[in-house]
């Protein structure tokens, strides 16, 4: 594997993603954690670009960073009342959690390493652009039309539900 | 960059997400962990659709490799919906219990 | 298709009602009303479009249901069924209207059960497969049990359990008889061959085939008894009648209406549809046979008439009085059926329909008074006519119809039954006319005690019957008058079917 | 034309009632229900009068098929012959006059519109009865008039006596009706039809009967007559009619004097062709006994309306006697004349009662107080000897002649008519015709039965004259007995007097007897009995015509006979004719004598006071008591029949509750107690034991296991994920 600029950037993205994700789960200040999550999401968006999924990358940035993250920050504000909020972790639980997640990671890595057909699949570099047009066709015209509609209804229901649950109870 | 690169990254993200979900004492942190898990899944989808092309998605000379991406889009939508509902629930719980620590919300304790 | 739609629309309505929120009572009531109006419209369509000149089964649907036992979803109507379907469908919305204000708890469950009940009743009158027939028969039992047991008066549990056990007792005998028929349905000359069947028209043909196991007169006699007791409990025929006063007294108004208006008719309908059509030999034994047994069916009718009337005379509970009068009036049906001739059977069927309409009116009227005064003690009223003239007028109409005043529908059925019966059983019929006099006595006496005389000061400000209540009564009142003046309107529907039945009974 | 006329006659009053009923549902009233009803009646009257000329000599029924059941068909239709037309006119005329009278009489009643609506319904029912051509139709009208009678007797239902009376009327007549219905069933079983006329009608079929079937026909005839016994208040079912006087007086005039009660006579006349010698004799005797019994009771009544009621019963008995004895035309003739003069008498008494109206109101107040005390004391047993309302008590009257000249004058005309004062009053002619007819039979056949019947009729005629003049003397002559009430009395307004005057005019033969002349009314011609055992009453034209003793101008018997002869009626049997002519002369002389005697005695008792009525009453105390207590019929019915019925019903109900239901509950209890004891043992120890053990184990296990349910989500997640890891590890390792 040659070490080109592209590779370099790829590793950069990969490492920043992992590092920030680590920060998300370890940092005690929840607001900091949220900012770390933002970096993670950007990192994943970058990885999408490497996978020739430019539309997806853009979506990732817009929806996740612009929407969900803001939502999370709102949540933080409304539940704590102040921006810094210490996160206490019990030691036993921490260790057990770490153990289980580590075990899971190891398992996954073993699977990845030991699955023969996944070995040595390298990117052939075929351009997929224009992805946006194709995705648009697929979603609105071809085989994903129905799932799309279903998902849109789901989203609507979720929004109404969320609004219903979070509103103040009106006592009669 | 082979498929395995992506898989390794996504499995690390996944494990970190699990870790957060298991250990954090703040519901919002748990939500963040879940977001990590969802991201790792999406990454997997896109990666698999990029590297592994099933025979039936080749029509004529054109190669379709978009299924994973579209599923990922749906995943993002779901994540958004999930986040909205999750936060609404958190708000409701906060109003009810005055706390969002998951171990304090144990009405179902037997 | 039309018929199936009619039967299952209320069932669908039940599901819809169950999905509605418990609190929106108005919505529930309106929905139920809508779902009972649909069968009414369909019933009217059937009634109008039914080919009166042909006696055969019309609108039939026959699709396999349980293949292993050759059970089919086989429905269809002849003139008799369509008349009773119309009655059932008519009483549906009326009962919903009658339940509009006086169901205080669990309205949703009440309405859902009511719709289930309606499906059971409609299905019963349309079923042409013996098994399906039985299923619908039992389907009415369960909602009825709950409707009486949950929404009834103070002794509701007792009444509901009594009703349930009585009917179940009858059903068991019926089930045994039914299985006996099924098992013998492929035996010809002692050899079993071919498939067994529950198909009623086929069974009727088989029961008339010489050498067939079903045509054996001893077999027919026993099976006749089995079915007859099953239906007799429903009618109810003395001595299986004691569930009726209790059930009526305890049931809420609308349920009393259904009970008297439709459920009792299920008994007599079953007797015509199964006992008379399928077991002519058995019928012969009990109506034409030698000695006591040859008069037994007519005697039962006579006992019902006289016994029911005298018991009614002694009652002081308004509703119980009407309940006993039902027993008396159903006696005329039995007497007419026992006659086995054209006038008798036509009269009996007409009496079934008329009694459905009139007793429904009577129970609604009792309900109106009960809703206002909260008691039903006949001697506790007096002079109500001054305060409620319209109510009194309608009650007088209903009473007069019930005591068989000519010009109103009650008379025609009663008179035809008696005219038919007189040709076969002179003495019994003459003695039965005692019931007419006693019938007049208890109704007039009630009229006097409740409505005439000085106004009881307790009821100085009794409100007059309101528009909704009038709306429930007017269609029935109109039917009473129309059928009294022009009975052919209904008789036309089934007289052809009856002619066929009479011919079959006479072996023509 | 005929059909449409009859339709109008029937529909006009029905429409008037329908308007009332429909508006009533909406809790409204037609603004002038009284005018509407009266107008409807006048329309019907006009059509009826027009129908006279439409009646053809050979009447045919106009029928439609009403019900068809396989082989049997019931038809409904009209039959229009001279009798029908006469009845139509009588009914519509009296009804119209009563309507007009009521406008005055019922004025101010809180239920004024309802009264007229009921009158309309009654008129419709009565007319329907009259024009029906078949037994079913007659029966329908029959019961409907009964209903109207019920409604109208109970019009002032606040009075317990009225409420009792209406119930009694309905039930008593219903007993008779059931007899009639059984008779109908017999006829139906025999002839398979209920139509009377036409080719397949009963009257046609009856001619073909074998002589062996005559006994059955007799029974059927008597049973049909039972209906008439109830409706026309014949002994023993007459007790309801005097009580029916609780209704408003116009109702008494219309229903209980002129029309409905006469329907029984009409029915018997209609059924004439099926009457056998036996049944005719039964009818005649019942009629004769009724005439006597009622007349004797009437002597001792003081309530002006009851006197008239018993008089009605007595006169109806007279008509029955006539028809039973074969004087078909005479019976119907008396029906017609009686309708007018009895309606007049009732309306006149109504006028007198109206004169005391203020007292009436006062009396009502008193009554209210009484009724409240006894409020809960309703029973099926009728209360007797109810107080005579003061405004109807003849002992409060007297000397009203000058106060109410019109009422007095008209009532006097009616009284003269009913008493049989000769030649100028119609009642004389009809009564004379009956007496002559019966005596003629007796002499012709030398039949003891008919001699007895004749003497009954003669005695009744005398008594009638006596008590009618007693009424007149006590009410209108002498000194006022109750000065307070007398001062209040006044002549009635013209709406009330005009009908009286018209009716008085109709009590002269010049106006109403023409119908019975000139062969307009002929008895039916069927003779189904070939060989009468003894005295079969043949409804034979010659007899009837020979008895016809007057013409339009009240000419003598001989002239009438000549005229009849001249009109082409052939008399084949001169001896026969001669006997009847002789009988007629004897009867006329005798009837004038007894009427004169009755009037004379009455005058001596109540005007001259030569004898003291009280003194006679004391001397013949037992007889007086018998009359005063109405032969104890009511006591017998209430004490025995009604009590027995009520007792029986209580017994049945008790039987039902304790025995039948007791068995059911007993079976339930036995099942529960004994059967259940066995099962229970097994159940408790074995089945339930097992079940309980399982339950306990489950309970205990649940108690422990539930600790696992921490309620903390993360614990669950730990377990789940740990489990996943474990499972995967296991799969990887093995």
pLDDT in tens, D365-388: 444 444 333 333 444 444 444 567
Q: Are C127 and C77 in contact (CB under 8 A)?
A: no
pLDDT at D384: 44
pLDDT at D533: 33
**Whole-angstrom distance, CA of residue D5 vs CA of residue D402:** 45
Q: Where are chain C's structural domains?
A: 290-508
For D438, the token pair is 């019966």
Taking an 8 Å cut-off on Cβ atoms, the answer to whether C422 and D186 are in contact is yes
At which residue do the structure tokens 């490799």 appear? B65
Residue D561 scores a pLDDT above 50: no
CA distance B108 to chain D (A): 5
Residues of B in contact with A139 (CB under 8 A): 70, 73
Taking an 8 Å cut-off on Cβ atoms, the answer to whether B22 and D711 are in contact is no
Which one is predicted more confidently, C351 or D633? C351
Which one is predicted more confidently, D581 or D21? D21
Which of D714, D718, D725 has the CB atom closest to A103's CB atom? Answer: D725
Per-residue b/e over D258-285, b at no fewer than 16 CB within 10 Å? bbbbbbbbbbbbbbbbbbbbbbbbbbbb
Read off the pLDDT band of C136 (50, 70, 90).
very high
Which of A55, A79, A134 has the CB atom closest to B100's CB atom? Answer: A79
A4 touches chain B (CB under 8 A): no
Residue C148 scores a pLDDT above 60: yes
pLDDT in tens, D195-242: 888 777 888 787 777 777 778 888 888 999 999 999 998 888 888 998
The mean pLDDT of B42-63, rounded to a whole number, is 73
SS3 D214: helix
**Whole-angstrom distance, CA of residue C245 vs CA of residue C397:** 23
- Helix then strand then coil, % of chain D, to nearest 5: 75, 5, 20
**Whole-angstrom distance, CA of residue D414 vs CA of residue D404:** 16
Residue D522 scores a pLDDT above 80: no
CA distance B56 to chain D (A): 31
pLDDT in tens, D457-495: 999 999 999 999 988 888 888 777 777 777 777 788 888
pLDDT at A169: 64
Q: How far is CA D680 from the centre of its chain?
A: 66
Lowest-confidence range among B4-13, D21-30, D60-69? D60-69
> Which of C:467-496 have CB within 8 Å of D?
470, 474, 486-488, 491, 495
**Whole-angstrom distance, CA of residue D103 vs CA of residue D83:** 30
B101: nearest CA in chain D? D712
Select from D355, D351, D342, D347 the least CA-distant residue to D468: D342
SS3 C502: helix
Which of D144, D159, D668 has the CB atom closest to C407's CB atom? Answer: D144
pLDDT in tens, D704-717: 887 777 777 788 88
pLDDT at C38: 93
Read off the pLDDT band of B54 (50, 70, 90).
low
Q: Are C170 and C232 in contact (CB under 8 A)?
A: yes
pLDDT at D589: 87
CA distance A172 to chain B (A): 18
pLDDT at D573: 52
pTM of the model: 0.75
Select from C297, C231, C296 the least CA-distant residue to C267: C231
The mean pLDDT of D182-203, rounded to a whole number, is 85
The mean pLDDT of D521-530, rounded to a whole number, is 50
> Which of D:689-728 have CB within 8 Å of B?
705-714, 717-718, 721
pLDDT in tens, C168-178: 888 999 999 99
CA distance B96 to chain A (A): 11
Q: Are D545 and D569 in contact (CB under 8 A)?
A: yes
pLDDT at D571: 38
Read off the pLDDT band of A99 (50, 70, 90).
confident
**For all residues of chain D together, what is the average pLDDT?**
79
Task: Name the percent of chain A lying above pLDDT 70.
Answer: 85
Which of D707, D714, D718 has the CB atom closest to B110's CB atom? Answer: D707
**Whole-angstrom distance, CA of residue D291 vs CA of residue D235:** 9
Read off the pLDDT band of D98 (50, 70, 90).
very high
The mean pLDDT of C476-495, rounded to a whole number, is 88
Asked if CATH classification 1.20.120.1200 holds for the domain at A5-101+125-166, the reply, yes or no, is: yes
Residue D124 scores a pLDDT above 60: yes
CA distance from start to end of chain A: 70
pLDDT in tens, A31-56: 888 889 999 999 999 999 888 888 88
pLDDT in tens, C87-114: 999 999 999 999 988 888 889 999 999 9
**Whole-angstrom distance, CA of residue B103 vs CA of residue C206:** 75
**Whole-angstrom distance, CA of residue B85 vs CA of residue A154:** 12
Interface test with B, best of D708, D712, D721, D723 (most B CBs within 10 A): D712
Interface test with A, best of D714, D717, D722, D730 (most A CBs within 10 A): D722
Residue D550 scores a pLDDT above 70: no
Read off the pLDDT band of D123 (50, 70, 90).
very high
Residue D270 scores a pLDDT above 80: yes
Residues of D in contact with A93 (CB under 8 A): 714
pLDDT at D273: 83
Which one is predicted more confidently, A76 or D293? D293
Kindly indicate whether the ipTM for this predicted assembly is greater than 0.85, answering yes or no.
no
Taking an 8 Å cut-off on Cβ atoms, the answer to whether A97 and D718 are in contact is yes
Residue C157 falls in which region: left (phi positive, over 0), alpha (psi -120 to 50) or beta: alpha
Taking an 8 Å cut-off on Cβ atoms, the answer to whether D724 and A103 are in contact is no
Residue D540 scores a pLDDT above 50: no
Q: Are A33 and A24 in contact (CB under 8 A)?
A: yes
Interface test with D, best of A92, A105, A107, A115 (most D CBs within 10 A): A107
Residue D69 scores a pLDDT above 80: no
Can chain A be said to touch chain C, i.e. do they have 3 or more Cβ pairs within 8 angstroms?
no
Residues of A in contact with D729 (CB under 8 A): 103, 107
A: neighbours with 3+ CB pairs under 8 Å?
A: B, D
Other Cβ atoms closer than 10 A to C222? 15
Residue D570 scores a pLDDT above 70: no
Phi then psi dihedrals of residue D525, to 5 deg: -100, -10
Lowest-confidence range among B52-61, C236-245, C296-305, D47-56? B52-61
pLDDT at D442: 82
Read off the pLDDT band of D125 (50, 70, 90).
very high
Task: Name the percent of chain C lying above pLDDT 90.
Answer: 44
Taking an 8 Å cut-off on Cβ atoms, the answer to whether D650 and C314 are in contact is yes
pLDDT at D549: 33
Which of B7, B27, B92 has the CB atom closest to A166's CB atom? Answer: B92
Taking an 8 Å cut-off on Cβ atoms, the answer to whether D707 and B21 are in contact is no
Q: Could you check whether the bond before residue D370 is cis, i.e. omega within 30 degrees of 0?
A: no
Residue C287 scores a pLDDT above 90: no
pLDDT in tens, C404-454: 888 888 899 999 999 999 988 889 999 999 888 899 999 999 999 899 888
At which residue do the structure tokens 């004087």 appear? D327
DSSP D134: B
Residue A20 scores a pLDDT above 80: yes
Task: Name the percent of chain D lying above pLDDT 70.
Answer: 84
Can chain C be said to touch chain B, i.e. do they have 3 or more Cβ pairs within 8 angstroms?
no
A72 touches chain B (CB under 8 A): yes
For D227, the token pair is 């209906």
Which of D718, D725, D732 has the CB atom closest to A104's CB atom? Answer: D725
Q: How far is CA C225 from the centre of its chain?
A: 20
The mean pLDDT of C40-48, rounded to a whole number, is 90
Residue C56 scores a pLDDT above 80: no
Rg (CA), chain C: 22
Beta-carbon pairs below 8 A across chains A and D: 17
Residues of D in contact with B11 (CB under 8 A): none
Q: Could you check whether the bond before residue D236 is cis, i.e. omega within 30 degrees of 0?
A: yes
**For all residues of chain A together, what is the average pLDDT?**
82
Q: Where are chain A's structural domains?
A: 5-101+125-166
DSSP C456: P
Residues of A in contact with B105 (CB under 8 A): none
Which of B21, B22, B109 has the CB atom closest to D710's CB atom? Answer: B109
pLDDT at D579: 77
SS3 C58: strand
Residue C206 scores a pLDDT above 70: yes
For C247, the token pair is 């059930």
Pick from B52-66, D381-395, D464-478, D504-518 the range whose average pLDDT is largest.
D464-478
Residue D95 scores a pLDDT above 50: yes
B22 touches chain D (CB under 8 A): yes
B: neighbours with 3+ CB pairs under 8 Å?
A: A, D
Residues of A in contact with D727 (CB under 8 A): none
Beta-carbon pairs below 8 A across chains A and B: 224
């Amino acid at each position: 594997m040659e070490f080109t600029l592209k590779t370099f950037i790829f590793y950069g993205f990969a490492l920043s993603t992992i590092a920030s994700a680590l920060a998300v789960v370890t940092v005690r200040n929840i607001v900091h954690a949220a900012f770390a999550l933002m970096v993670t999401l950007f990192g994943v968006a970058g990885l999408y670009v490497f996978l020739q999924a430019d539309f997806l990358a853009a979506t990732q940035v817009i929806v996740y960073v612009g929407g969900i993250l803001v939502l999370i920050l709102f949540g933080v504000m409304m539940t704590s009342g102040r921006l810094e909020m210490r996160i206490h972790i019990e030691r036993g639980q921490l260790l057990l959690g770490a153990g289980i997640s580590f075990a899971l990671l190891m398992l996954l890595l073993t699977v990845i390493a030991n699955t023969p057909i996944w070995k040595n699949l390298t990117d052939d570099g075929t351009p997929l652009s224009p992805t946006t047009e194709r995705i648009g066709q697929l979603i609105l015209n071809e085989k994903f039309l129905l799932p799309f509609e279903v998902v849109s209804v789901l989203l609507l229901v979720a929004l109404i539900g969320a609004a219903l649950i979070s509103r103040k109870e009106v006592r009669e | 960059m082979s498929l395995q690169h992506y898989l390794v990254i996504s499995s690390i993200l996944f494990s970190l997400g699990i870790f957060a979900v298991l250990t954090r004492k703040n519901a919002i942190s748990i939500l963040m962990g879940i977001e990590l898990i969802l991201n790792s899944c999406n990454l997997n989808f896109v990666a698999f659709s990029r590297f592994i092309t099933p025979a039936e998605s080749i029509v004529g000379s054109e190669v379709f490799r978009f299924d994973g991406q579209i599923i990922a889009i749906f995943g993002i939508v779901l994540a958004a919906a999930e986040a909205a509902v999750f936060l609404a629930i958190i708000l409701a719980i906060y109003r009810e219990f005055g706390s969002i620590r998951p171990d304090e919300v144990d009405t179902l304790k037997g | 298709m039309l018929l199936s739609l009619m039967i299952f629309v209320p069932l669908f309505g039940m599901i819809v009602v169950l999905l509605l929120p418990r609190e929106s009572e108005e919505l529930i009531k309106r929905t139920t009303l809508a779902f009972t109006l649909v069968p009414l419209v369909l019933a009217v369509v059937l009634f109008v479009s039914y080919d009166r000149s042909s006696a055969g089964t019309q609108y039939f649907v026959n699709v396999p249901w349980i293949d292993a036992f050759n059970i089919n979803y086989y429905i269809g109507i002849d003139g008799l069924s369509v008349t009773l379907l119309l009655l059932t469908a008519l009483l549906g919305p009326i009962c919903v209207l009658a339940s509009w204000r006086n169901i205080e708890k669990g309205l949703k469950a009440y309405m859902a059960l009511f719709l289930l009940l309606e499906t059971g009743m409609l299905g019963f009158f349309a079923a042409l497969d013996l098994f399906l027939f039985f299923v619908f028969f039992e389907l009415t039992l369960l909602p009825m049990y709950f409707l009486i047991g949950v929404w009834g008066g103070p002794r509701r549990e007792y009444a509901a359990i009594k009703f349930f056990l009585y009917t179940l007792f009858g059903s068991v005998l019926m089930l045994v008889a039914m299985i006996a028929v099924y098992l013998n349905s492929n035996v010809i000359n002692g050899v079993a061959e071919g498939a067994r069947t529950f198909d009623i028209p086929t069974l009727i043909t088989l029961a008339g085939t010489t050498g067939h196991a079903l045509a054996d007169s001893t077999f027919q006699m026993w099976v006749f008894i089995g079915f007859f007791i099953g239906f007799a409990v429903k009618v109810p025929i003395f001595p299986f009648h004691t569930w009726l006063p209790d059930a009526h007294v305890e049931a809420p108004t609308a349920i009393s209406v259904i009970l008297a208006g439709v459920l009792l008719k299920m008994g007599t309908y079953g007797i015509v549809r199964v006992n008379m059509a399928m077991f002519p030999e058995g019928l012969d034994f009990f109506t034409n046979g030698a000695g006591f047994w040859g008069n037994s069916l007519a005697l039962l009718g006579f006992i019902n008439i006289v016994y029911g009337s005298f018991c009614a005379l002694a009652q002081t509970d308004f509703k119980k009085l009407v309940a006993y009068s039902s027993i008396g009036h159903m006696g005329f049906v039995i007497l007419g059926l026992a006659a086995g001739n054209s006038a008798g059977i036509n009269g009996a069927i007409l009496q079934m329909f008329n009694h459905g309409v009139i007793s429904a009116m009577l129970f609604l009227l009792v309900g109106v008074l009960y809703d206002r005064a909260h008691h039903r003690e006949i001697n506790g009223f007096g002079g109500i006519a001054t305060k409620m003239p319209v109510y009194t007028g309608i009650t007088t109409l209903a009473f007069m119809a019930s005591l068989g005043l000519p010009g109103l529908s009650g008379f025609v059925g009663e008179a035809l039954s008696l005219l038919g019966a007189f040709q076969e059983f002179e003495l019994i019929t003459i003695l039965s006319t005692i019931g007419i006099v006693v019938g007049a006595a208890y109704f007039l006496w009630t009229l006097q005690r409740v409505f005439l005389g000085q106004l009881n000061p307790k009821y100085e400000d009794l409100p007059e019957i309101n528009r909704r209540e009038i709306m429930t009564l007017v269609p029935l009142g109109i039917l009473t008058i129309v059928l009294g003046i022009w009975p052919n309107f209904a008789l036309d529907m089934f007289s052809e079917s009856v002619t066929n039945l009479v011919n079959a009974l006479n072996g023509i | 034309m005929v059909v449409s006329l009859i339709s109008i006659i029937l529909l006009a009053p029905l429409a008037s009632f329908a308007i009332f009923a429909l508006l009533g549902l909406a809790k409204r009233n037609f603004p002038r229900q009284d005018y509407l009803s009266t107008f409807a009646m006048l329309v019907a009257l006009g059509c009826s009068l027009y129908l006279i000329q439409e009646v053809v000599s050979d009447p045919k029924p106009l029928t439609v098929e009403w019900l068809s059941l396989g082989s049997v068909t019931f038809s409904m239709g009209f039959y229009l012959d001279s009798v029908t037309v006469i009845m139509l006119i009588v009914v519509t005329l009296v009804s119209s006059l009563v309507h007009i009278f009521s406008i005055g009489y019922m004025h101010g009643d809180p239920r004024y519109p309802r009264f007229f609506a009921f009158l309309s319904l009654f008129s419709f029912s009565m007319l329907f009865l009259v024009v029906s051509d078949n037994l079913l139709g007659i029966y329908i009208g029959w019961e409907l008039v009964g209903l109207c009678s019920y409604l109208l007797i109970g019009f002032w239902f606040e009075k317990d006596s009225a409420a009792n009376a209406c119930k009694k009327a309905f039930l008593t007549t219903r007993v008779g009706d059931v007899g009639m219905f059984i008779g109908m069933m017999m006829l139906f079983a025999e002839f398979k039809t209920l139509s009377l006329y036409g080719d397949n009608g009963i009257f046609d079929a009856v001619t073909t009967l074998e002589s062996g079937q005559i006994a059955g026909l007799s029974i059927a005839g008597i049973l049909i007559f039972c209906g008439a016994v109830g409706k026309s208040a014949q002994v023993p079912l007459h007790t309801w009619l005097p009580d029916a006087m609780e209704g408003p007086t116009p109702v008494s005039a219309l229903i209980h004097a002129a029309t409905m009660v006469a329907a029984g006579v009409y029915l018997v006349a209609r059924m004439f062709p099926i009457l056998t010698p036996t049944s005719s004799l039964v009818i005649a005797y019942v009629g004769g006994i009724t005439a006597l019994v009622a007349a004797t009771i009437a002597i001792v009544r003081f309530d002006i309306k009851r006197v008239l009621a018993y008089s009605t019963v007595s006169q109806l008995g007279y008509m029955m006697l006539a028809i039973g004895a074969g004087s078909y035309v005479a019976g119907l003739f008396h029906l017609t004349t009686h309708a007018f003069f009895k309606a007049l008498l009732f309306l006149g008494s109504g006028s007198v009662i109206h004169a005391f109206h203020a007292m009436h109101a006062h009396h009502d107040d008193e009554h209210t107080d009484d009724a409240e005390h006894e409020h809960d004391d309703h029973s099926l047993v009728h209360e007797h000897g109810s107080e005579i309302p003061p405004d109807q008590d003849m002992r409060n009257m007297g000397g009203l002649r000058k106060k109410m000249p019109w009422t007095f004058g008209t009532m006097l005309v009616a009284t003269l008519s009913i008493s049989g004062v000769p030649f100028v009053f119609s009642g004389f002619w009809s009564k004379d015709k009956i007496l002559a007819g019966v005596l003629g039979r007796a002499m012709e056949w030398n039949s003891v039965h008919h001699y007895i019947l004749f003497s009954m009729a003669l005695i009744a005629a005398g008594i009638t004259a006596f008590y009618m003049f007693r009424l007149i003397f006590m009410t209108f002559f002498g000194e006022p007995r109750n000065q307070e009430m007398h001062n209040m009395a006044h002549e009635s307004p013209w709406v009330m007097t005009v009908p009286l005057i018209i009716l008085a005019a109709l009590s002269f033969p010049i106006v109403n007897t023409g119908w019975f002349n000139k062969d307009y009314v002929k008895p039916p011609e069927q003779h189904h009995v070939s060989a009468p055992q003894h005295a079969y009453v043949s409804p034979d034209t010659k007899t009837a015509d020979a008895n016809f003793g007057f013409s339009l101008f009240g000419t003598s018997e001989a002239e009438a006979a000549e005229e009849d002869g001249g009109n082409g009626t052939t008399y084949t049997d001169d001896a026969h004719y001669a006997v009847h002519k002789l009988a007629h002369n004897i009867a006329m002389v005798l009837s004038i004598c007894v009427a004169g005697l009755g009037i004379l005695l009455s005058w001596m008792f109540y005007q001259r006071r030569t004898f003291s009525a009280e003194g006679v009453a004391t001397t013949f105390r037992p007889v007086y008591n018998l009359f005063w207590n109405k032969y104890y019929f009511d006591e017998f019915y209430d004490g025995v029949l009604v009590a027995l019925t009520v007792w029986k019903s209580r017994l049945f109900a008790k039987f039902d509750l304790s025995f039948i239901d007791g068995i059911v509950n007993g079976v339930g209890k036995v099942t529960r107690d004994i059967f259940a004891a066995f099962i229970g043992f097994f159940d408790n120890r074995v089945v339930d034991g097992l079940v309980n053990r399982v339950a306990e184990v489950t309970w205990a296990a649940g108690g422990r296991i539930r600790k696992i349910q921490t309620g903390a989500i993360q614990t669950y997640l730990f377990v789940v994920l740990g489990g996943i890891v474990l499972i995967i590890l296991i799969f990887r390792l093995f």
